[in-house]
């Protein structure tokens, strides 16, 4: 009986370890072509986008007019992020969406 109990405990531990997923598995990166024109625009993005639910990190290039967002796709969507950028007064056209591979 003791061997059976030990077997089931070990089996439970193995199944739990195999089914565990990292929060980072839900992370994606989206890049938007925007109508940014200056450093004030960049500041506006950094002041507002990180407050959005699901936003993990942010990069803004005024020169390329690109906003790149690392986000948790279980907490927000590309559409919601685009709407937020639009609500700040900028265009937001998706350039690329990719899975997070540990590099941002």
Tens of pLDDT, residue by residue over 38-58, are 999 999 999 999 999 999 999
pTM equals 0.78
Residue 6, SS3 per DSSP = helix
Count CA atoms closer than 13 A to 31's CA, side-chain side. 13
Residue 54, SS3 per DSSP = coil
Report d(CA 16, CA 19) in Å as an integer.
Answer: 5
The per-residue pLDDT for range 63-100, each reduced to its tens digit, is 999 999 999 999 999 999 999 999 999 999 999 999 99
Class of the domain covering 23-99: alpha beta
């Amino acid at each position: 009986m003791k061997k059976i109990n030990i077997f089931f405990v070990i089996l439970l531990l193995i199944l739990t370890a195999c089914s565990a997923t990292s929060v980072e598995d839900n992370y994606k990166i989206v890049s938007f072509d925007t109508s940014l024109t200056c450093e004030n625009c960049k500041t506006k993005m950094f002041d507002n986008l990180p407050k959005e639910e699901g936003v993990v990190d942010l990069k803004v290039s005024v020169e390329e007019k690109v906003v790149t967002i690392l986000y948790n796709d279980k907490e927000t969507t590309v559409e919601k992020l685009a709407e937020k950028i639009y609500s700040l007064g900028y265009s937001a056209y998706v350039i690329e969406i990719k899975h997070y591979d540990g590099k941002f």
